[in-house]
Amino acid sequence: MVLRIGHRGAMGYEPENTLRSFRKALDMGCHMVELDVQRCKTGELVVIHDDTLERTTNGTGLVRDKSLEELRTLDAGKGEKIPLLEEVLDTIQGKSRVNIELKGLGTARPVARLIDRCRSEKGWIDEAFLVSSFDYEELSAFRKLAPEIPVGILFKEIPTGLFEFTSYIRAFSFNPLFRIVEAELVEAAHREGIRVLVWTVDEPGDIDRMKKMGVDGICSNYPDRI
């Protein structure tokens, strides 16, 4: 079975990284939802992709320069607010797995703490989480803090020493841009016991091509197409 992964919820239909978008992804039967997490000025973990506010909200400036109170005054689309990571997890709980992308510096430790609390207080299991990042230092920090939680290596180009880093970090998955994926990469990953979760695949022809290559999961803005 190919995992149906909702990109920032179901952002082809609803404002990305909002509770409305995540609920839409759940309604579509996603096996996993993907989201982006950063820390704001007051330290809370907020779910937003960009470092800046202009593209996805009616605000301006850097996320890290705004307090949670300031961020909560903004419209993230259709009247939605920028959610806290904990709010998203409470919305998702028990309905799908969640792929948390570490976007900002210093996110590894608070994400590890929150995941630990979800496991001890709210019944989440280790396998319900996947923590991924392009920032391999932050990902390595997370791995040391939460060695039992699966991690995924994000990349747009195949990095030098990929399999060496995979072994070091004990990665659960490769999460590559779908355009760079060839059958050889999928086969090599599978030989090492590593899943391949591709992003962001929206066109039916591309979705079919990824399935024929044997990828394990497809992340899409339109997850109902998978």
pLDDT of residue 97: 98
Q: What is the pLDDT of residues 183-213, one digit of tens each?
A: 999 999 999 999 999 999 999 999 999 999 9
- Cβ-contact 154, 132 below 8 angstroms: yes
Within 10 angstroms of residue 95's Cβ, the number of other Cβ atoms is 16
Q: What is the pLDDT of residues 98-139, one digit of tens each?
A: 999 999 899 999 999 999 999 999 999 999 999 999 999 999
Q: What is the pLDDT of residues 110-121, one digit of tens each?
A: 999 999 999 999
Q: What is the β-pairing status of strands 45-47 and 32-39?
A: antiparallel
Q: Give the residue among 157, 210, 206 at the shortest CA–CA distance from 180.
A: 157
Task: Point out the catalytic residue in the list 7, 8, 24, 143.
Answer: 7
pLDDT of residue 104: 82
Mean pLDDT of 22-27: 98
Task: Point out the catalytic residue in the list 23, 31, 41, 49.
Answer: 49
Q: What is the pLDDT of residues 43-90, one digit of tens each?
A: 999 999 999 999 999 999 999 999 999 999 999 999 999 999 999 999
Q: What is the pLDDT of residues 146-159, one digit of tens each?
A: 999 999 999 999 99
pLDDT at 12 over 90: yes
Judge: domain 3-35+84-225, CATH 3.20.20.190.
yes
Tell me the pTM: 0.98
Q: What is the pLDDT of residues 166-189, one digit of tens each?
A: 999 999 999 999 999 999 999 999
How far is 171 from 175, CA to CA, in rounded Å? 10
Using CA of residue 113, residue 162, residue 105, residue 87, what is the dihedral sign? negative
Give me the residues paired with residue 173 across strands.
152, 195
Percent pLDDT > 90 in the chain is: 99
Active site annotation includes 31: no
Mean pLDDT of 4-19: 98
